[in-house]
Structures are given as C-alpha cells and as structure tokens.
Structure 1
Amino acid sequence: MNTLKSIGAALAGFIFIGITHSATDAILEAIGVLPKGHLYVSTGLILFVILYRAAFSLAGCYITSLLAPKDPMKHSLILGGLGTILSAAGAIITADMNLGPAWYAWSLVVIALPISWLAGKFYQSRKRAKAGIPA
C-alpha cells in the first residue's frame, strides 16, 4: 500500500508542476509577454521564466513531500531526479530545433535537484515547527 501512496505522492507533484508550467507559459504567450514557439527574448525575461518554473517546481516537490507516506525528503529528491532526467532529455532533443539559448534548457537541468532538496528541507522544517521541535 505504501508503494501506491509513494507513486501517488510523486505523481501529484509531477502533475502540479506540469500543469503550472504549461498554463503559465500559455498565459504569458496569450497576453504577448512571451513569443510563441521560441524563447529568443531578453536575458531578464528568460530569468523570469526560470524563476517561475523554479517556484512551481518547489511547490510541486513540497506537495510530494507532504503526501509521502514516509521519508518525505526521499520522495522530493526522487521527483527532482525525474525532473533532472526529463529536463536533460528535453535539452538534448530540442538542441537543434533553435527554440532558444541552450543555457536556458540546461539551467533547468541544473536547478531540478537543488530545488527538490530545498522543498524537502522546507517541509521538514515546517513539520518540526508544528511539532514544537527547535531547528
């Protein structure tokens, strides 16, 4: 039963991340902030995209930690590992498609695990605080 709960926890975080990333991209494209089909924009705008993706990824990994039946940090890191693998695959697959600067795609690979670790730590600190345990 814990295996199904673990899979469900990771799936919930994964779905949250996918929906929030895609929806935010679509909204920003629809209102003209981002161009459709490529990311050749200012460095500041690319950093903004990385920032909101990092924030949504942090929230998704936190959700996974929250729902994990045990060892929330491990669950968060597993989701971060999956994010690293999928981001690397995306960077490799799109390398010749001229969709944007390569450093953008590879930055998503680099930040996936640290964000998942941070989400796990944040969950642990909130759990300790609720239990009245000093950090």
Structure 2
Amino acid sequence: MRAPLASLGAIVAGVAVTALTATLVDMAMRAAGVFPSPPQAMSGPLFVLAAAYRAVFTVAGGYVTARLAPDRPMRHAWILAGIGLAAGLAGMAAYYAAGGGRLGPAWYALAIPLEALPCVWLGARLAVSRRTPDARLA
C-alpha cells in the first residue's frame, strides 16, 4: 500500500511545484507592479518572462517527481508530463473559447502545453542522474 501512495505523492508534489509556484510568482509579479492588473493586457516581453519561469518551474516539477518516486522515476515523470500537457491543452482551449487575442499572444497559449514534455523530461533526467547507479530505474 505504501508504494502506490508514494507514487501518488511524488506526482502530486510535482504538480504542486509546477502549478503552485507559477501561480504564486504570478501573484507576486502583480503585487509588485511588474505585471498589470486585469483587465489590462500584458506586453509581449512580460509573456516571455512568464513562459520562462513556467519552464523553470516545470523542470523543477519533473525533478521533484523523479526524486520522490519510489521506483521507475521516468515513468512517474511521464505521468506528470501528461498531466501538464492536458492542463496546458485545456488552457489553450479556454484561450480560444474566450476570444484568443484579447487575452494575449497565441504563441504563449501554445507554448505552455508544448513545454510540458521536454521540461518535465529534463527535470526527471537531472534527478535520475543524481541517483546511485543501481537506483537509476529509467
């Protein structure tokens, strides 16, 4: 019973690192006046900044998931990547349903789901490389 709970915990921790940190940084950026408050639109460079730190947090989420996984760390990371991809695609669908261009550039809506797979993979590979040779169950 412990292994399934540990597996679930590893994946939930990766989701938390990825989603909660991005949300908290978004809130901090708004509070600091770096990002404008709604309904004002952000400029292109601010979307680049947001995409960049989201990528870093997604790498961190992959790392955390793989480090906490009780076994097969890359499998756990791929599950996290699938969750990130699904969430990103849902966000992209919402972007287009809400009128697209009024919310920001289309590249940003597309970048979020596309960065899920390579960023989670990178974080997981970094974590696996830090394991002892006999524990590298990729």
Length-normalised TM-score, structure 1: 0.87
Residue 116 of structure 1 aligns to which amino acid in structure 2?
V
Describe the superposition over 1:65-87 as per-residue Cα deviations: whole angstroms up to 9, x where unpaired. 11101011111111011100100
User: How many residues align structurally?
Assistant: 130
Question: What is the match of residue 107 of structure 1?
Answer: 111
**Local SS of the residue matching 2:131:** helix
Question: What is the match of residue 49 of structure 1?
Answer: 50
1:33: Cα distance to partner?
0.8
Does the alignment pair 1:22 with 2:23? Answer: yes
Q: Gapped runs of 5+ residues in structure 1?
A: none
CA contact (8 A) 2:85 2:114 kept: yes
What is the distance in 2 between the residues matched to 1:29 and 1:46? Answer: 13
What is the distance in 1 between the residues matched to 2:51 and 2:119? Answer: 12
Residue 113 of structure 2 aligns to which amino acid in structure 1?
V
Percent identical residues: 37
Relative to 1, partners in 2 of residues 1:121 and 1:39: Cα closer, same or farther, differing over 3 Å? Answer: farther
Q: Gapped runs of 5+ residues in structure 2?
A: none
Relative to 1, partners in 2 of residues 1:39 and 1:84: Cα closer, same or farther, differing over 3 Å? Answer: farther
What is the distance in 2 between the residues matched to 1:71 and 1:112? Answer: 19
Describe the superposition over 1:21-75 as per-residue Cα deviations: whole angstroms up to 9, x where unpaired. 1110001011111122365312x32111111111111111111111101011111
Q: 1:120 aligns with which of 116, 119, 124?
A: 124
1:16-95 matches, within 5 Å, as: 16-37=17-38, 39-42=41-44, 44-95=45-96
Length-normalised TM-score, structure 2: 0.86
Residue 13 of structure 1 aligns to which amino acid in structure 2?
G
Describe the superposition over 1:84-125 as per-residue Cα deviations: whole angstroms up to 9, x where unpaired. 010000110122432111210110111100011111111111
